[in-house]
Homo-oligomer: A and B are copies of this chain.
């Protein structure tokens, strides 16, 4: 729904709108007091989106742009000064990874945040984050509406795992797949240079295995790819370890790629959550490594196991060119959407078109790899791995 009637409501309830500039804008640029906040973990491209939001706001004529430091926490922590943003400040931030504004998980309750926004007279809020952050953004939007504040709350989905419903891809994913190649190639070299070498690489992917699947396909160097969506046994006649034995005996070495959310059933339930509300996962990478060492020791076959966890070295990278373009368009569209008076929406690319989507539509559950999809079958063809059940 457009602002025309009800200020800053969500566009319809379920429908998608084509993203882009609108003929009629809802805010007078000189009255805009925009804020940007980045939440959750790092993801390549955060600075590109921040930069493009600032540049596009300036093109509209906005003068007051504020960076909220360290996620929702920054609305309150008085020790950390907010950051005044302009083209000059953001000009080259996309050349560096991380977030200029800082990130954090969790934060104060919605009512307090909206109180604070009122105090600061913020009337455009751009929120970069994952599912939890978007739920927060939606709640802020609803609270603002309840208070009849004229505020546009616009999300930009940030998930390196590429697991947002309806979206072709999210920013940072392409970079993550690219940068995973280094780790995979290192594991391959370690495995092939060792006698009976086994390289294990853990990649991101809490509930979906897109990074592991794409990185395996791109590398051409993975023998076994394990993802959360496809159950597997480690032990037993059809288990991963038996296949590793077969690989050592036939090829002399093997490389395994495992998504962080895979095989959680093997791990003791830690049963706790981080500040974002995400379940803290057990470390499947370390588990596979230990079980592999133990297995080969038990059967008396020498095996030289090397384990690589490149997560933080991937997350902290700057966006590659493809993600750079995606971030640029998302950032531009976020501003166009806010100026058009949309609120409670998020931006994305859907069937190759850039769109605005109502937040609740995309956050109900994570998008998954379909084990019957062509892409997963291509991955299986590439690795040559059997079913592990």
Q: What is A's interface to B at a CB cutoff of 8 Å?
A: 20, 42, 48, 51-52, 56, 59, 70-71, 73, 77, 80, 92, 94-99, 102-104, 168, 174, 177-178, 180-183, 185-187, 189-190, 192-195, 199, 214-215, 217-220, 304, 306-310, 312-313, 315-317, 320-322, 324-325, 328-329, 332, 351-352, 354, 374, 378, 381-382
Q: Quick one: which of B178, B189, B381 contacts A316, CB cutoff 8 A?
A: B189
Please, how many angstroms separate the alpha-carbon atoms of A73 and B196 in the complex? 12
Q: Give the residue name and chain of the B residue nearest to A181 (CB).
A: B321
List of 6 A-B pairs having minimum Cβ-Cβ separation, nearest first = A218-B321, A98-B189, A98-B193, A186-B316, A218-B324, A189-B316
Q: Quick one: which of B92, B193, B325, B354 contacts A217, CB cutoff 8 A?
A: B325
CB pair A312 B321 closer than 8 Å: no
Some 17 contacts from A to B, beta carbons below 8 A apart, are A42-B189, A70-B195, A92-B96, A97-B189, A98-B192, A102-B193, A104-B304, A168-B352, A174-B322, A178-B320, A178-B321, A182-B313, A187-B316, A307-B312, A313-B313, A328-B378, A354-B374
* Chain B hits for A352, CB < 8 A: 168, 351-352
User: Given A73-B195, A174-B322, A328-B378, list of 8 further CB < 8 A pairs?
Assistant: A42-B190, A70-B194, A96-B189, A97-B189, A98-B190, A183-B313, A190-B316, A332-B378
How near does chain B come to A354, taking the closest CB pair, in angstroms? 8
Please, how many angstroms separate the alpha-carbon atoms of A195 and B38 in the complex? 12
* Chain B hits for A183, CB < 8 A: 313
CB pair A313 B186 closer than 8 Å: yes
How near does chain B come to A178, taking the closest CB pair, in angstroms? 4
Q: Quick one: which of B182, B308, B315 contacts A190, CB cutoff 8 A?
A: B315
CB pair B104 A177 closer than 8 Å: no
